[in-house]
Structures are given as structure tokens and as C-alpha cells.
């Protein structure tokens, strides 16, 4: 069978609550080789009803639009440009939060990638994931920033997690969110991958991790992004978070 896929991507709504929208966002500009995957931070229900419109979904749209705009018009070091784009977009989210009265700032985590000169430049914040497949090996090149707070969340109130620990690099459980807080810069991690020997790059939101972390390499390699999402849905029958994947194959990486 001849495999034709070079790029595939998809996202699907959570199964946690019927009125909770998909607050993930995936965007691929194949002309400029810009890849954006964002995961909005969930809100609290109000009298059992999820906020509409969702501030988290609105924050992801603001971030996507401004990151894409900045990367489309600026020149220079690609790695630095991605970080700058993320922080400029973060400032736009700050404007949104100033205009809306919310119990805590709307925001999102995410991973951004740009392919240039057969290199994959990236930057991320929070708990989205990046993987590379090389031959018979899968390697995660991101670090989940919410691992410590997940381990110790019972030790802190919701207020402390959202207002004191979030974007606080000095806290042992600190984690990053693009929510308008300038301190988010401390949590943005960036890097570059030489694509010469890479077969695939896979970007995903944390809703996919339960499935991807245990999947066989062949299953990941042979599946499109949409197929991976479907397989993740079948992985367990419990309520699941929004799930999103961007998959980039070698044929596109080396163009």
C-alpha cells in the first residue's frame, strides 16, 4: 500500500459534559509551515451550566490568530520568533481578561511549530506533548509542566492553584499558562529538531496522552491524526477531555 499522507490533523470535543465545548484548537498553515495546537484551560460550571461563550475557547482563538499573524510577518531567528509570537499573543489575552469579569483569568497551554530549512522549530508551555518517531523509536521532546501540581493538588486549594501557583516559577509545583500573565514567559520552552533522520513529528493535547503513552509504535506510525483520535476514544469508556493531534510526515519535513 502506498502511503500518501504528509500532514494530518484533527480535534474532537470532550465527553465530560454536553454543554462544554471543544476548547482545543488545531491550525496548520501549510504555505508557511506554521503549526499551532492549543488547549484552553477549563472553566467552572455556574449552577451546573458551562459558561457560554467559553472564555477558554475565546482565549485559544485570540492566541491562534495573533501567533499566526506574528509568525507570518516577522523575520529572523525562527526559535526566537515563536517565543516572541507567544508572548505578544499572551498580551492580547491580558487585554481580553481586563475586559471580562471572570473568577480566574482565561488562558490556554499549547505547542507551536515552524518548519524551515528542514528543521522543526518549536516552543511550548503547559502540558501539550511533542513526539518524534525515528525508525523504531518514539521520543517525547516536551516536558509536562503540570506533573507536580497533579501529584500535590490535594495539598492546595483551587484558589492557590489558579492564582498563586500558576505561572509562578519559584513554586515547586509551578506550571505555565498563556493567560495574560507576563510571568508565563518563564515557562515557555523552545528548541529545534533536525529533520534529516526523523520519520514523523506528532503534536498532541493532554487528552490524547492516556492512549498515546501506551500505544505501539507501529500503531502510531501507520495512523493518521484522525485515526489516532478515534483509537483514543475507544481506549477507555470514561469521560474524556478534548483530544487533538497534528501529525507531520518525513515527506513534508524534508520539502
- The per-residue pLDDT for range 133-149, each reduced to its tens digit, is 999 999 999 999 999 99
- Judged on CB neighbours under 10 Å (0-12, 13-18, 19+), 226 is middle
Cell of 43: 472553566
- Top-confidence residue, 21 or 4: 21
What percentage of the chain carries pLDDT values higher than 70? 98
- 1-5, 26-30, 62-66, 146-150, range with the lowest pLDDT: 1-5
How many contiguous H segments (helices) and E segments (strands) does the chain have? 8, 10
**Residue 250 pLDDT:** 85
Mean pLDDT score of the chain: 95
- φ/ψ of residue 222, rounded to 5: -80, -15
Q: Is the per-residue pLDDT at 110 higher than 60?
A: yes
The verdict on pTM exceeding 0.75 is yes
Q: Is the per-residue pLDDT at 3 higher than 60?
A: no
Buried b (16+ CB within 10 A) or exposed e, 65-83: ebbbebbeeeeeebbebbb
Q: pLDDT class for 157, splitting at 50, 70, 90? A: very high
Give the torsion sign (CA, 66, 129, 26, 8).
Answer: positive
Q: pLDDT class for 238, splitting at 50, 70, 90? A: confident
Average pLDDT over residues 148-158: 97
Q: Is the per-residue pLDDT at 152 higher than 70?
A: yes
Amino acid at each position: 500500500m502506498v502511503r500518501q499522507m504528509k500532514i494530518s490533523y484533527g480535534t474532537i470535543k470532550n465527553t465530560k459534559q454536553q454543554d462544554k465545548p471543544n476548547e482545543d484548537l488545531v491550525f496548520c498553515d501549510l504555505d508557511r509551515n506554521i503549526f499551532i495546537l492549543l488547549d484552553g484551560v477549563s472553566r467552572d460550571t455556574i449552577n451546573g451550566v458551562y459558561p457560554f461563550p467559553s472564555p477558554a475557547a475565546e482565549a485559544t482563538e485570540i492566541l491562534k490568530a495573533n501567533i499566526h499573524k506574528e509568525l507570518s510577518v516577522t523575520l529572523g531567528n525562527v526559535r526566537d520568533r515563536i517565543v516572541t509570537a507567544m508572548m505578544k499573543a499572551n498580551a492580547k489575552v491580558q487585554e481580553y481578561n481586563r475586559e471580562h469579569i471572570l473568577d480566574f483569568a482565561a488562558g490556554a497551554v499549547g505547542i507551536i511549530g515552524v518548519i524551515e530549512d528542514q528543521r522543526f522549530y518549536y516552543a511550548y508551555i503547559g502540558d501539550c506533548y511533542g513526539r518524534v518517531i525515528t525508525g523504531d523509536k518514539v521520543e517525547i521532546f516536551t516536558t509536562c509542566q503540570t506533573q507536580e501540581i497533579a501529584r500535590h493538588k490535594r495539598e492546595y486549594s483551587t484558589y492557590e492553584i489558579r492564582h498563586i501557583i500558576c505561572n509562578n516559577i519559584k513554586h515547586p509545583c509551578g506550571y505555565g499558562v498563556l493567560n495574560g500573565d507576563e510571568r508565563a514567559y518563564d515557562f515557555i520552552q523552545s528548541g529545534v529538531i533536525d529533520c534529516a533522520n526523523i520519520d514523523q513529528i506528532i503534536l498532541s493535547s493532554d487528552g490524547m496522552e492516556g492512549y498515546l503513552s501506551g500505544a505501539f509504535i507501529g500503531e502510531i506510525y501507520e495512523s493518521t491524526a484522525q485515526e489516532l483520535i478515534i483509537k483514543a476514544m475507544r481506549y477507555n469508556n470514561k469521560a474524556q477531555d478534548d483530544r487533538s493531534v497534528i501529525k507531520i510526515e518525513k515527506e513534508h519535513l524534508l520539502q
